[in-house]
Amino acid sequence: MTDPNNLRQTLRDRLATAADEKCREKAERLTSGAKCLGVTVPQIRATAKELKKEWSELDFETICQVADLCFENECREEILCAIFLLALHKKRLNEIKWDRINRWTLHLDNWETCDQLSSNILTPILLNNTNPFMPLEQMALSANKWERRLSAATAANLNHGGRTYPTETFRICQQLLTDKEPMVNKAVDWALREICQKPPEEVTSLLKQNKNTALEKRLESYLAKRK
């Protein structure tokens, strides 16, 4: 089997050729100082597509091991490329065990990699789960702020594409409503906005069932903007 360490180095070298200093400075500002090479998201996606073709003979577990190494290295571009590469194997995502995802979340340090992990990996996996919100409820209790953001961001993503889980999303938001971390609060607002895209009567019913003044004010402000 091809050594995952060598494959990760290939991935990094490929990304490095597209690196740009101005892009690096911008990415560092936007991610509050995350370790960056300076590669744009479209270029990272293009690199992932190239590697998928070149590594077509590799088994999925090896690609997951490359992803493990990318997360451990905590470089923005490596993590994003690993996420995009895995997402190109959509039919195999359910083979990723939750303990592996838990290890990846330990290396999240910015909103961008957190949200891309949510939309490209967690959301597709959880949509095939009989109870997609159960892992998110546990994650919302984490001491790790990025895991808490991941919980709210994934709750929001699960409500896209015509899907609707207002009650479950409401429950996640309640758990995180008083969170003191701004990055978590932004994801909670995102999830609440998704709830408010649903019929107003559903939101009103939820508020009656779950008395929470702070949550009620936030939801009512979003509903007012819809009128």
**Mean pLDDT, residues 113-118 taken together:** 98
Residues 96 and 184 in one domain: no
Distance, CA of 17 to CA of 43 (rounded, Å): 10
Q: Which of 84-93, 176-185, 208-217 has the lowest mean pLDDT?
A: 208-217
Token output for 185 = 């609060």
32-62 pLDDT, tens digit each? 889 999 999 999 999 999 999 999 999 999 9
**Mean pLDDT, residues 24-33 taken together:** 93
134-163 pLDDT, tens digit each? 899 999 999 999 999 999 999 999 998 888
Domain membership of residue 20 as a residue range:
1-109
Q: Is residue 115 part of a domain?
A: no
Contacts within 8 Å (CB) and 24+ apart, 6-10: 7/55, 7/58, 7/62, 7/66, 8/66, 8/69, 8/70, 8/73, 8/78, 10/51
Q: 140: domain CATH number?
A: 1.25.40.290
Higher pLDDT, residue 34 or 167: 34
Q: What percent of the chain has pLDDT over 70?
A: 86
Q: Is residue 181 part of a domain?
A: yes
Residues 67 and 150 in one domain: no
Residues 70 and 141 in one domain: no
Q: How many structural domains comprise the chain? A: 2
Q: Is residue 119 part of a domain?
A: no
Residues 104 and 137 in one domain: no
Last residue of a domain, one of 47, 78, 109: 109
Residues 214 and 133 in one domain: yes
Residues 135 and 224 in one domain: yes
Residues 33 and 92 in one domain: yes
pLDDT at 93 over 60: yes
User: pTM, whole model, 2 decimals?
Assistant: 0.89
For residue 203, name the pLDDT band (cuts at 50, 70, 90): low
Token output for 14 = 């490929």
- Which segments of the chain does DSSP mark as H helices, in order? 4-16, 21-30, 41-54, 60-73, 76-87, 98-105, 111-117, 123-126, 134-139, 145-157, 166-176, 182-195, 200-209, 213-226
Q: Is residue 116 part of a domain?
A: no
Distance, CA of 96 to CA of 63 (rounded, Å): 11
Token output for 137 = 């409820």
